[in-house]
């Protein structure tokens, strides 16, 4: 099996490829080749049992998608995107990458013809939903985003459903919760502080909390995100029906509950490294995001995530900190 990962140098893409290298196969089939595309070169996973190629390119450039699918990968995992805060700050860039890049990819697959029908896993976001919200957002809730990023992802979902309905490819859209705790350095995502206030204190560094600690949000770990991708890549899509976009399971909690969990797991000295400095821009963006979900379709189809925020913190300590942290 040949797998193309768009956005393969990003955190989720890297972890997905590393999981493929450990498993050696996907859905009972051996993985023979992985191509990782991104705007920077992706690193090869250690001891990969498959051929690994890296492509440095911009998927929003005309003709680039055609080059990427020329070898006809059986699975395409589309992670490439401009994140929420950057998409809001740079309107043109957000639409060029998040919308045009996806549309060019879908159209390149359609034009390939000759029976080529790959599985396409498209990563969307809970940002496709906008206020006012129910206490828990059901699968039938309207997609009425209140950010440019959410709008771009919602349009991508519609395209994915239509191209799948027409038989051009076999698509699955997964609306990711905020992935927490993200390893590495802070990025431009407006949601980045949810990870920052856990990751930096555990590393002995100060973190800034830019919103009220009463902000509630929907979370899942990087480990769960990889599990979502694997399940979406291998599941029986006949069970999904025409609505190909699914809200992924997660755990809803307030920032105060996040901090209390950090206190329970790591102690008061770690929590003291969090500094409160309200940022009106981030506070405004987050105010329009959904807070809690009832993702029955995804759960019934076999998607799984953590049952509480303590699990999420402990996954980070285990996967990224070798089981220890700075007290």
The DSSP secondary structure of 199-222, one letter per residue, reads: HHHHTT--EEE-S-TT-EEEEE-H
Confidence of residue 317 (pLDDT cuts 50, 70, 90): very high
Domains of the chain by residue range: 2-176+219-247
Q: H or E stretch including 163?
A: helix 148-165
> Which among 246, 264, 243, 242 has a CA at the least distance from the CA of 312?
264
pLDDT by residue (tens digit) across 28-60? 999 999 999 999 999 999 989 999 999 999 999
CATH architecture of the domain covering 2-176+219-247: 3-Layer(aba) Sandwich (3.40)
Where is average pLDDT lowest: 67-71, 182-186, 205-209? 182-186
What pLDDT score does 286 carry? 83
Identify whether the C-beta of residue 287 lies closer than 8 Å to the C-beta of residue 88.
no
Rounded CA-CA distance 305/121 in Å is 18
CB 268 within 8 A of CB 274: no
The whole-angstrom separation of Cα 292 and Cα 77 is: 26
SS3 assignment, position 120 = strand
Q: Give the model confidence (pLDDT) of 251-277 as tens digits.
A: 999 999 999 999 999 999 999 999 999
Position 188 confidence tier, pLDDT thresholds 50, 70, 90: confident
Phi, psi of 183 (to 5 degrees): -80, 170
- At a CB cut-off of 8 Å and minimum separation 6, what does 176 contact? 123, 124, 125, 126, 220, 225, 228, 248
Instruction: Categorize the per-residue pLDDT at 189 as very low, low, confident or very high, splitting at 50, 70 and 90.
Output: confident
Tell me the pLDDT tens digit for each residue of 87-105. 999 999 999 999 999 999 9
Q: Is the pLDDT of residue 284 over 90?
A: no
CB atoms within 10 A of CB 218: 27
Instruction: Check if 95 is active-site.
Output: no
pLDDT at 321 > cutoff 80: yes
Does residue 186 surpass a pLDDT of 80? no
Pairing mode of beta strands 25-26, 29-30: antiparallel
Q: Which residue has the tokens 């191509």?
A: 35
The sign one gets for the Cα dihedral 34, 39, 41, 45 is: negative
Average pLDDT of the chain is: 96
Instruction: Please give the distance of CA 176 from its chain centroid, rounded to a whole number.
Output: 5
User: What CA–CA distance (Å, rounded) separates 23 from 214?
Assistant: 40
Q: Counting beta carbons within 10 angstroms of the beta carbon of residue 133, is it exposed (0 to 12), middle (13 to 18) or buried (19 or more)?
A: middle
Q: How far apart are CA 29 and CA 283, in angstroms?
A: 45
Q: Which of 95, 104, 149, 163 is catalytic?
A: 149
pLDDT of 190 > 90? The answer is: no
The answer to whether 304 and 221 are in contact (CB under 8 A) is no
Enumerate residues 6+ apart whose C-beta is below 8 A from 277: 208, 209, 210
* Residue range 197-210, pLDDT digits in tens: 999 999 999 999 99
Q: DSSP string of 265-320?
A: HH-HHHHTTEEE---HHHHHHHHTS---B--HHHHHTT----SSHHHHHHHHHHHH
pTM for the model: 0.95
Residue-wise pLDDT tens digits, 285-313: 888 788 999 999 999 999 999 999 999 99
pLDDT tens profile 215-231: 999 999 999 999 999 99
SS (H, E, C) 121-153: EEEEEHHHCCCCCCCCECCCCCCCCCCHHHHHH
Distance between CA 84 and CA 199 in Å, rounded?
Answer: 20
Question: Half-sphere exposure of 248 toward its Cβ, with a 13 Å CA cutoff?
Answer: 32
Residues 6+ apart with CB under 8 A from 223: 15, 315, 319
């Amino acid at each position: 099996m040949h797998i193309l990962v768009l956005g393969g140098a990003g955190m989720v893409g890297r972890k997905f490829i590393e999981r493929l290298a450990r498993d050696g196969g996907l859905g009972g089939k051996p993985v023979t080749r992985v191509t990782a595309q991104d705007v920077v070169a992706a690193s090869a996973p250690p001891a990969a049992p498959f051929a690994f190629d890296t492509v440095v390119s911009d998927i929003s450039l005309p003709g680039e998608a055609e080059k990427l699918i020329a070898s006809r990968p059986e699975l395409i995992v589309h992670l490439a995107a401009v994140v929420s805060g950057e998409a809001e700050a740079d309107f043109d860039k957000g639409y060029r990458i998040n919308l045009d890049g996806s549309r060019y990819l879908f159209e390149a697959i359609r034009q390939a013809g000759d029976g080529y029908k790959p599985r396409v896993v498209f990563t969307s976001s809970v940002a496709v939903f906008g206020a006012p919200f129910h206490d828990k957002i059901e699968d039938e809730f309207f997609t009425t985003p209140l950010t440019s990023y959410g709008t771009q992802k919602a349009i991508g979902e519609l395209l994915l459903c239509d191209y799948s309905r027409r038989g051009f490819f076999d698509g699955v859209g997964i609306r990711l919760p905020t992935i927490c705790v993200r390893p590495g350095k802070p990025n431009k995502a407006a949601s980045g502080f949810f990870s920052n206030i856990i990751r930096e204190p555990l590393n002995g560094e100060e973190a800034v909390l830019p919103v009220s600690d009463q902000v509630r949000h929907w979370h899942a770990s990087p480990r769960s995100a990889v599990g979502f991708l694997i399940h979406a890549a291998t599941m029986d899509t006949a069970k999904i029906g025409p609505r190909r976009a699914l809200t992924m399971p997660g755990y809803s909690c307030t920032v105060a509950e996040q901090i209390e969990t950090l206190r329970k797991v790591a102690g008061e000295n770690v929590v003291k490294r969090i500094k409160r400095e309200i940022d009106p821009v981030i506070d405004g963006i987050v105010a329009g995001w959904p807070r809690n979900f009832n993702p029955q379709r995804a759960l019934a189809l076999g998607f799984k995530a953590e049952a509480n925020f303590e699990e999420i913190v402990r996954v980070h300590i285990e996967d990224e900190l070798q089981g220890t942290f700075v007290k």
